[in-house]
A = this chain, B = another copy of it.
Amino acid sequence: MALTLSSQSKHFGGTLSKYTHASTSTKTTMAFNVFVPEGASAQNKVPVLYCLGGLTATEDNFAQKSGFGARASQYGIALVFPDTSPRDVGFPEAGEIADIGYSAGFYLNATKAPWDKNWKMYDYISKELPEVIAANLPIGGHGALTIFLKNQSAYKSVSAFAPILHPTASSWGMYAFPRYLGMDQYTWKQYDTVELIKRLAAEKNLRSDVEFLIDQGTGDQFLNPDRLHTSVLAETIKSLGIDNQFNIRYHDGYDHGYFFISTFINDHIDHHAKAHGLSLKH
């Protein structure tokens, strides 16, 4: 559980630190960035928001380009920015294409070789990393929609920017899932937001006290042709009668990149702060 500090910068009164650590989940050295606001201490622990990057991202993208700092500082919220996959695993397939391997962890536990040894990102994000954080930093515990849905009692709030909502029907998932997980489509559905919501709703196991905030740009290159399937989620929740729990916002003309994220980051931090009963301190 030992952390190695590799860089640290003061930011909006707090600190943005990059740590590395030996991960028991991935059997690799994993890196993450963490923002700890001013005043956080062992005696004054602060809420923490997990910010999970998408395909092609590392632990740096969201930390450096989202513009989270002002609002996080105003509320006194910590943010954790994990890497999106294991690195330096020593087999060439991991670096060959963007849809699988490095930066394409899909936050799943792979079950097929060669991925099954290191691609245990679900365990890493949902179990190991929160333990590492809690043991080392003065913060107590979003995640991807799937991780939230499978661990509804572990998180207070959830939101997403331009998420892949139905990967089992997307060319991304149809490429990656057979390779990571084999051909068992039941397993695929464990990492598919639309499928998880359908199952949880059928089981009456979907928390009713949580609002899902989802922001989506209409200029997003992945909205049409439909790789994100925002409309499928919308139809699903309407047919289930739970659309009142979802705030799906379409933003005219915004694309899939960080200039979209940074435009609306304050709204997301406000959303999570409200779930924690926090108000602006300055």
Using a CB–CB cutoff of 8 Å, the interface residues on chain A facing chain B are: 9-13, 16, 64-65, 67, 69-70, 217, 219, 251, 253-255, 257-260, 262-263, 266
Contact = CB atoms under 8 A, between A and B. Distances in A.
What number of copies of this chain does the assembly contain? 2
A258 to B, nearest CB: 6
B219 A257 contact: no
B11 A263 contact: yes
Contacts of A13: 263
A11 B70 contact: no
A258 B262 CA distance: 15
B70 A10 contact: no
A69 B263 contact: yes
Given A69-B263, A263-B69, A64 B258 contact: yes
Nearest to A252: B10
A69 B64 CA distance: 14
A262 B10 contact: no
Contacts of A70: 67, 266
Contacts of A251: 10
Contacts of A262: 11-12, 67, 69
14 contacts: A9-B254, A9-B260, A10-B251, A10-B253, A10-B254, A11-B263, A12-B263, A13-B263, A16-B259, A64-B64, A64-B65, A64-B258, A67-B70, A69-B263
Contacts of A255: 9-10
A9 B69 contact: no
Nearest to A257: B9
Contacts of A9: 254-255, 257, 259-260
